[in-house]
Amino acid sequence: MTAITATPPSAPALSPRVSPIDGVRQSLTLAWRTIVQVRHNPWELGDFSFQPIMFVLLFTFVFGGAIAGDWQGYLQFMLPGMITMNMLFVTMYVAQGLNTDLTKGVFDRLRSLPIARWAPLAGRIAADQVKQAWSIVLVLGIGLIMGFRIGTNVGGLLVAIVLLLVFALCFSWVSVLVGVLARDPERVQIFGFTALFPVTFVSNVFVPTETMPGWLQAFVKVNPVSILSDACRALMLGDKTVGTPWHVGSAGPPVVQSLIWAAAIVLVFAPLSVWALKRKI
């Protein structure tokens, strides 16, 4: 009697590549994973919510009268710059989250799945855009409650928000590089305070450039934080004087310069970040 050996069905061959559409879908899924983590760790939401509120209240009511003569006029000048500064600090959460995934092996686990190789990183950056939008709306909402008024129209405000999100997206590559190179999340936070604080404070976020020493003005004028702040002020407040002796200029030049800075950041830091990430994993 001849034994009959059943041949198990062969497993379907895995596709060697992931289609771009599937990659986008996977990136959005991983982005949602990052956003949902806030529900389990609400202090993360508080980290980038409480600080900007405290800064707005502190500089408006404590320093506003001394700097501008009245806190209402100072709020008009300062708030667009405060939104810009907060955007840069929120971007550091990309570095912190990426570093946590790398050091705890989560990133390796995600890359072992049949997903696009770029999906984990893209998902992390996409989630940051949601956090950025929240931080912009939060600071703007606090400003409106305190008396900040849009001097242009809804279109100018929306353009300013889109410009901030585009710059945040480009600056995320700096955060990616920091997250890859740092040994642990604590060192990511150290970079945020030691590197971003001088860049943001040595700018026209809180005071106009003309009030600074001449040797310092040269740096402040080319500082991307100052340029982006000027662009947001012009888009939100218009081409007029708003309750202070400081004139808000045309939006065209600072908007173009901000986009040039954003493109330059991508061209420099995106290749460095990808190279460092490949060496890390």
CB of 115 closer than 8 Å to CB of 51: no
Task: Name the residue range of residue 174's domain.
Answer: 41-280
Q: Is 16 domain-assigned? A: no
For residue 118, being part of any structural domain is answered with: yes
How many other CB atoms sit within 10 Å of the CB of residue 1? Answer: 3
3-state secondary structure of 266: helix
The whole-model pTM stands at 0.84
Give me the mean pLDDT over the 182-200 stretch: 83
Instruction: Please give the average per-residue pLDDT across 55-76, as a whole number.
Output: 87
Mean per-residue pLDDT, 207-224: 90
Q: Is residue 69 part of a domain?
A: yes
End-to-end CA distance of the chain: give it in Å, rounded.
Answer: 56
* pLDDT, tens digit (0-9, with 9 covering 90-100), for 167-189: 999 999 999 999 888 888 888 88
User: Amino acid identity, residue 103?
Assistant: T
DSSP-derived letter for residue 62 is I
Helices within the chain (DSSP H only)? 20-40, 42-58, 64-68, 71-103, 106-111, 119-146, 154-181, 185-191, 197-201, 214-222, 224-237, 252-280
Q: Is residue 59 part of a domain?
A: yes
Residue 261 in domain: yes
Q: What is the mean pLDDT of the chain?
A: 83
pLDDT at residue number 15: 44
36 domain-assigned: no
Give tens-digit pLDDT for 232-274: 999 998 865 444 444 556 778 899 999 999 999 999 999 999 8
Q: What is the mean pLDDT of residues 222-231?
A: 93
CA dihedral of residues 50, 139, 216, 208 (deg, nearest 10): -130
Report d(CA 48, CA 162) in Å as an integer.
Answer: 19
Q: Give percent above pLDDT 90 in the chain.
A: 31
Residue 50 lies inside a defined structural domain of this protein = yes
Q: What domain count does the chain have? A: 1
Q: pLDDT value at position 249?
A: 60
Mean pLDDT of 190-208: 86
In the block, tokens 């609400």 appear at: 42
Q: CA-CA-CA-CA torsion for 170, 153, 236, 126, nearest 10 degrees? A: -20
Domain presence at residue 27: no
Residue 5, pLDDT > 70, answer no
Q: How confident is the model at residue 160 (pLDDT cuts 50, 70, 90)?
A: very high
Report the sign of the C-alpha dihedral through residues 269, 272, 274, 276, in that order. Answer: negative
Note the pLDDT of residue 13. 43
